[in-house]
Structure 1
């Protein structure tokens, strides 16, 4: 990244180049650079209208924590002048405050970003003019309107990600399959690499194909999956695995799904076939590992 640039996650009116340019011109922020980088998701967040903005004559978009949901937005590179302009536009720190998050890109990588969040004031109905600005910005970047439109009605939005891709001991017939018992499964393939950790595999991002299953996962089961995989909330690095989002190829077409990735798996031997089952049964190896390892460390 260019020195002096900050990665910023935009999810509301700042998606719209005309609205941004107009604000900078009115307020004298010459040279404010807000350059699009990539679409991204903030995990365990949803869009809401729970902050009143007088300049918008109604509610303005905000982020609220919701485990399992994912808010779509755009990562921008912002220079120092753009950061000053963003702070002014967002009323920071009195109204919105800067917060640090990790955004998940289309290839499953996670990058640290800055975004803005305001304290909740309860539902605030948005003005039609503001909705038009955000729709225009979303359309320009290929971002769907569904979550915002639901938020504008103060209605729950469908889950952005409703499936989990499993590739090892959680697959049907494997040692941990009971954790997902009774849930629909379909075969699927992701672009990634598979590594042999002995009793269990690990998935890393990169060229290759990994075969597994895509499971329809109810929201209330996700916390248990995070605990099982030693994953930090919000898709942040730092746990044994990191919850990410990958596109799974299935017979019914591509499907986004959560997947648990081991970012430091490079030192672990590869499974060339990309198929955990190709190694033969590893139930005994898992049982031995589970017997000598505390549940919180598996």
Structure 2
């Protein structure tokens, strides 16, 4: 068995192993090897029901670009047999419907942008909204449960967003909180940008990683752990980075203000090779007063982590910008 170098991002019914096995039995095909590598996020995209499926008796999921939104899912490593099966299942070569492959970036469970391929509806067959059958929505929800995609979310859960999209509504952004640890904090020189977008202070938080000094501002270096290790682990005291958590009113409006401050070009530009000093990414944060953190205490939040590791930098021994 030879695994493909291409990684696959699943966000819909392909998260449900039982459903895949039933399809393979119907079609008398092998599913091949499909190994989950961990939870991930498709940034600046949202879920839509834009394609009709005769087999599903209604609409099926698709993703489309949408600044400020994020789509939860799972990264898989697959062999060529699995890719062939997935292409067939998604109607890659169908003439009257189906999906096409879509190369893109996702944020893995360690907070690192990673190149993957997923599937989006062929433009010719896209519709504004196709009502899904409740059985299909239940299949997707079971996949969410399998990979615990609702864990760590504040406000709407992944299942809440799925239900709203299934009803033809435009849901709120799934992750609206931003963790800052340097010059965007209160009293620092770039905090006025957070005031400009009307953010609300939630309170002090910690995350894991290490801080370096780039001269007049810091940068976070993410922990060097695998996606699966990052998903299982708690934040330990020796890894703590203190900072502040803010809630954004409208991420779609706020990113065009905040991204240039951190020299992040946006994910479409990143996919085309644009330079980034920082990445806008998603990490785990937890209350600052917890020394021995439990899994239930953390939540997901946006932050900016160092992308250009060639920059001159000095470690910050305290791991705190304000204690420097």
Normalized against structure 1, the TM-score is what? Answer: 0.87
Provide the rounded CA distance (Å) in 2 between the counterparts of 1:65 and 1:93.
24
CA distance in 2, matches of 1:214, 1:22: 44
Structure exhibiting the larger radius of gyration computed from Cα positions: 1
Seen in structure 2, the aligned counterparts of structure 1 residues 31 and 159 have a Cα distance that, compared at 3 Å, is closer
Residues 112-160 of structure 1 show CA distances to partners (whole Å, capped at 9, x for unaligned) of 1110011331100001221222122222111231221111001122321
Structure-1 separation of matches of 2:200 and 2:145: 33
RMSD: 2.0
Match of 2:40 in 1: 40
**CA deviation string 1:215-257 (max 9, x = no partner):** 1112211221112211132395741111101111125943321
Q: Look up the match of 2:306.
A: 262
> How far is the alpha carbon of 1:211 from its aligned partner?
1.4
Range 196-205 or range 33-42, more displaced: 33-42
| Corresponding residue of 2:89 | 89
Cα distance in 2, alignment partners of residues 155 and 161 from structure 1:
18
- Residue of structure 1 aligned with 2:134, choices 105, 122, 128: 128
**Partner Cα distance (1:173, 1:44) in 2:** 30
- Look up the SS of the partner of 1:148 in the other structure: helix
TM-score by length of 2: 0.80
The farther-off stretch of 148-157 and 257-266 is: 257-266
CA distance in structure 1 between the partners assigned to 2:288 and 2:169 by the alignment: 32
CA contact (8 A) 1:202 1:265 kept: no
Structure-2 residue corresponding to 1:191: 208
Are residues 1:277 and 2:322 paired?
Answer: yes
* Residues in 2 aligned to 1:165 and 1:31: alpha-carbon distance in whole angstroms: 40
In structure 2, distance between residues paired with 1:275 and 1:142:
32
CA contact (8 A) 1:195 1:265 kept: no
Q: Which structure 1 residue ranges, 5 or more long, are not aligned?
A: 280-298
Query: What are structure 2's unaligned runs of at least 5 residues?
Result: 151-158, 225-238, 290-296
1:77 aligns with 2:77: yes
Are 1:113 and 2:116 matched, yes or no?
yes
Using the TM superposition, give the Cα deviation of residue 210 of structure 1 relative to its aligned residue in structure 2, in angstroms.
1.4
> Matches of 2:48 and 2:161 in 1, distance apart?
9
Equivalences for residues 107-186 of structure 1 within 5 A: 107-118=110-121, 119=123, 120-144=126-150, 145-181=159-195, 183-185=199-201, 186=203
Determine if contact 1:205/1:263 at 8 Å carries over to the other structure.
no
The alignment partner of 2:307 has SS state of coil
Tell me which of 262, 270, 283 is aligned to 1:246.
Answer: 283
Q: Which deviates further from its counterpart, 29-38 or 53-62?
A: 29-38
Query: Residues 194 and 210 of structure 1 are in contact (CA less than 8 Å); yes or no, is this contact kept in structure 2?
Result: yes
The count of residues paired between Structure 1 and Structure 2 equals 278
